[in-house]
Amino acid sequence: MIRQVCITCGAEYGADEVIYSCKRCGDLLDVEYDYEALAERLEGSDWRSLPLSVWRYRDFLPICDLSKVVTLKEGGTGLHQCSRLSNLLGVKRLYVKNEGENPTGSFKDRGMTVGVTKALELDVKTVICASTGNTSASLAAYAAKAGLRCIVLIPSGKTAYGKLAQAMIYGAEVVQIRGNFDQALRIVLKLSERHREVYLLNSINPYRLEGQKSLAYEICDQLNGKAPDRVILPMGNAGNISAVWKGLTEFHRLGLIDDLPRMVGIQAEGASPIARAIKLGSDVVTPVERPETVATAIRIGAPVSWKKAVRALRESSGVAETVTDEEILDAQRMLARCEGLFVEPASASSIAGLRKLVELGEIDKDEVVVCVATGHGLKDPDIVMKMCGRPLEADAEVGSIEKLLGLTQAFR
């Protein structure tokens, strides 16, 4: 039995009720299962023999009619052991979960395959979201595959071009508002409350987060049934850290892992309401009025899932940290040059955070650490070209290139 449950007052709602917040207290909802029945179902299931992907975990997902699944082959992303980078940073074992390997280049695809499938189960025809870029790219792709109308609201000016291009080519109706992400989210929430026909697929929708929790399952399965000591993630709207923690606690509850890791949430200094609250020891997050960072994906001042994120950090004895734009860009370059992994700035913030926390002595050198790299570097090439400068230039002639590159050891 699947139900939607308010995280604060515990009010319960049916699985097929289209609802984004509690009618009684207005707080966020979580999807809950009958875990005894789930454990029994797993006994008879062949899930372990399926390839690594979101739908390997179909028994753990809130979808009843598997014939409706809308998939572009999401999940099954690499967990890369990064020995050169771990030597540089001074940790023994570091893995990067490279979510840029997903179909539209970010972890959002895990949520959208489930969210858009749910939309078909609910028989809705139009899906909508607000986005800093990746959510819109992903929703647009899955809506196209499902034949649904897709509307996205993005903030003016700051959306990375790669992401905007994706949303446009997949055929979404893209509305750029004269405002920031937080304003865009408030508007789509209003629209979905006022209009029965639009189904909201921001991370306030608990079904989308159910898909995202597969990230946690995959990490544990890729580490042969063991959780790492730490999982480090960037936080924007804070849905993903909440989803990953839910996935980890479910695996633990079902006896699929023995220990739980400590969660680490990283925010950019100019958009860090959750990290600031956690560092101050407060459980109340005050929005940042004008969020600003080079990591445009997480340029968010009023994270909608802050309560879930604070709970994940508290329950796991976790920590939160802030990193500067310079630290983020340094980490992005380091990961590319040491490990061949090109990730976008928001994703690199998890590496920047690890570096800072090792230096501060918060993360021990013996820990097994997983950093989640949430999106592909090609999403935002402009920022890289600004950082790396222009390529070298030479005449189209062997001699001048030899001279330029200092190639002196000729064959005799």
Which residues in 51-70 contact ligand F0G (CB under 6 A)? none
Closest CB to ligand F0G among residues 160, 363: 160
For residue 270, what are its two tokens?
A: 């100019």
Segment near ligand F0G (CB under 6 A), from 24-32, 36-44, 127-135, 255-263?
A: 127-135
User: Among 131, 316, 322, 332, which residue sits at the site for ligand F0G (rule: CB under 6 A)?
Assistant: 131
Length of the chain counted residue by residue = 412
| 237, 377 Cβ separation under 8 angstroms | no
For residue 132, what are its two tokens?
A: 């800093």
For residue 181, what are its two tokens?
A: 């992400």
> What is the rounded distance in angstroms from the CA atom of residue 249 to the CA atom of residue 257?
9
User: Among 192, 272, 293, 374, which residue sits at the site for ligand F0G (rule: CB under 6 A)?
Assistant: 374
Closest CB to ligand F0G among residues 103, 234: 234
3-state class percentages of the chain: helix first, strand second, coil last, to nearest 5: 45, 15, 40
Segment near ligand F0G (CB under 6 A), from 62-70, 165-173, 237-245, 325-333?
A: 237-245
Rule CB under 6 A: is residue 236 a binding residue for ligand F0G?
Answer: yes
Binding pattern for the stretch 153-192 against ligand F0G, x by CB under 6 A and - elsewhere: ----------------------------------------
Find, among 138, 109, 355, the residue nearest to 212 by Cα. Answer: 109
User: Among 75, 234, 261, 377, which residue sits at the site for ligand F0G (rule: CB under 6 A)?
Assistant: 234
Specify the residue for token string 């809705």.
Answer: 124
Segment near ligand F0G (CB under 6 A), from 79-87, 221-229, 231-239, 399-407?
A: 231-239
Sign of CA dihedral 216, 220, 221, 222: positive
Q: Are strands 93-98 and 79-81 parallel, antiparallel or unpaired?
A: antiparallel
Least separation in angstroms between residue 238's CB and ligand F0G is 5
Least separation in angstroms between residue 235's CB and ligand F0G is 5
Rule CB under 6 A: is residue 237 a binding residue for ligand F0G?
Answer: yes
351 C-beta neighbours (distance < 10 Å), count: 31
For residue 79, what are its two tokens?
A: 């967990």
Q: Kindly state the number of chain residues that form the binding site for ligand F0G, as judged by CB under 6 A.
A: 21
Least separation in angstroms between residue 344's CB and ligand F0G is 5
Rule CB under 6 A: is residue 238 a binding residue for ligand F0G?
Answer: yes
Rule CB under 6 A: is residue 203 a binding residue for ligand F0G?
Answer: yes
Q: What H or E segment, with its residue span, contains residue 152?
A: strand 149-155
Rule CB under 6 A: is residue 200 a binding residue for ligand F0G?
Answer: no
User: Among 192, 240, 293, 316, which residue sits at the site for ligand F0G (rule: CB under 6 A)?
Assistant: 240
User: Among 220, 298, 323, 369, which residue sits at the site for ligand F0G (rule: CB under 6 A)?
Assistant: 298
Closest CB to ligand F0G among residues 7, 256: 7
Find, among 351, 330, 380, the residue nearest to 163 by Cα. Answer: 380
Closest CB to ligand F0G among residues 256, 384: 384
Report the DSSP beta bridge partners of residue 5. 12, 30
Amino acid of residue 217: Y
Helix 239-253 / helix 306-315 crossing angle, nearest 10 deg: 40
Task: Give the Cα-Cα-Cα angle 14, 16, 19 (nearest 5 degrees).
Answer: 80
Specify the residue for token string 């997949």.
Answer: 170
- Using DSSP, state whether 235 is helix, strand or coil: coil
Which residues in 134-153 contact ligand F0G (CB under 6 A)? 134-135
Closest CB to ligand F0G among residues 203, 322: 203
Q: Are strands 29-32 and 3-6 parallel, antiparallel or unpaired?
A: antiparallel
Segment near ligand F0G (CB under 6 A), from 51-59, 142-150, 341-349, 388-396?
A: 341-349
Rule CB under 6 A: is residue 239 a binding residue for ligand F0G?
Answer: yes
328 C-beta neighbours (distance < 10 Å), count: 29
For residue 139, what are its two tokens?
A: 């929703």
Contact set with ligand F0G (CB under 6 A): 106, 131-135, 203, 234-240, 297-298, 344, 346-347, 374-375
